[in-house]
A and B are shown apart, each in its own frame.
Chain A
Amino acid sequence: MSDTQSVVDPKLLAILRCPVAVHYRDKGDDPGKLELVKGCWLVSADSGYKYPIRNGLPIMLISEGEKWKDVAADDLPVPPPAE
């Protein structure tokens, strides 16, 4: 888990947004911010979408984020399962 986290560039994490929520117009000036959870998930509080980081690559596809929408952040598996 810590290995996965360490290979994702913090500069990249700072600019990534949920590709769904970034278009929201009712969530303030900077919608779609992501929180790093368990070192290998990027979670959007605005949309509920959750994006896995696999082998150091954030998987920022809406289809992937949507799969985990109804899973509580605490219940996200570590490491994220392979596709």
Chain B
Amino acid sequence: MTRNSKAQSQERFNQYAQGYVTSKTHAKGGELERLVAIADPQPAWVTLDIATGGGHTALRFAPHVAHVTASDIAPNMLEAAREFITGQGMTNVDFQLADAEQLPFEDSRFDLVTCRIAPHHFPDAGRFVAEAARVLKPGALLLVQDQVAPEDHVAKCYTNTFEQLRDPSHNQVFTQAEWVAMFQSAGLTVTHTEQLVKRHDLLHWAHMQGCTPFDVEQLQVLLQVAPPLAAEWLQSEHAGTPEASFANHHLIIAGRKGGIRTE
């Protein structure tokens, strides 16, 4: 994949930064609490939140740990996250602009690395996982939540096309099996997987990324003509009307780096 797709992500998330701070999808408390429960953060931990976006994950973990480093590739997004998090009174979070696939940190530094609802934008998600594994301490955890694709190849391609139409910076949603393989390739032992189903109002979802009326019309048509396994996955309702909605699916996956944990 090219530098252009990174530039595309930077451009789009610079443009729509504030929408992600206020986004219900990204701020959803229950899911963030689930991530905290899986990670079981400890007061002495130093953690990293990659592609922090609106900063919701960094903010949720900050009260549980000694320090959170929040990174993102889009300057406006990072400014919005900094304003949001410092506005909540948090003083143990720092911020820097970084590429998820080329992390600017020393090896074996973090007790936990999180990344939520972002890797589907990355040009090379496998490289992100490898970099996250590099900066984890031995025995520490990588915790990722992202969209997940159906295992059926046609349905996977269809849902990726649907997402790319709404947001051209969307690169690829992977299947659970592909995620597990990426973790294993990076030397991480998968300790947890679970899937969530999230419903979206089509018009609101399209509006978040500034879709044109023509884009929305195309999305409506795609929902109506989806092949059987894609239709089953998308679970669309009221397609073709202003009340159109659909589901996308998320995977939470955690993997532990080899070696003995040292505090």
- A-to-B contact residues, CB < 8 Å: 8-9, 11-12, 15-20, 22, 30, 32, 51, 54-63, 83
Contacts and interface: CB of A to CB of B under 8 A. Distances in A.
Most buried by A among B96, B97, B102: B96
A22 B106 contact: yes
A57 B75 contact: yes
Contacts of A55: 79
Contact of B94 (A11, A60, A83): A11
A69 to B, nearest CB: 16
A17 B106 contact: yes
Contact of A15 (B73, B75, B97, B106): B106
Interface string B1-12: 001000000000
A15 B109 contact: yes
A54 B109 CA distance: 24
B97 A59 contact: yes
Interface residues of B, number: 23
Contacts of A20: 102
B104 A19 contact: yes
Contacts of B98: 19, 60-61
B94 A30 contact: no
A35 to B, nearest CB: 14
Contacts of B104: 16-19, 22, 51, 58, 60
Interface string B218-261: 00000000000000000000000000000000000000000000
A60 B106 contact: no
Interface in B58-91: 67, 69, 71, 73, 75, 78-79, 82
A45 to B, nearest CB: 15
Nearest to A53: B96
Contacts of A8: 94
B112 to A, nearest CB: 14
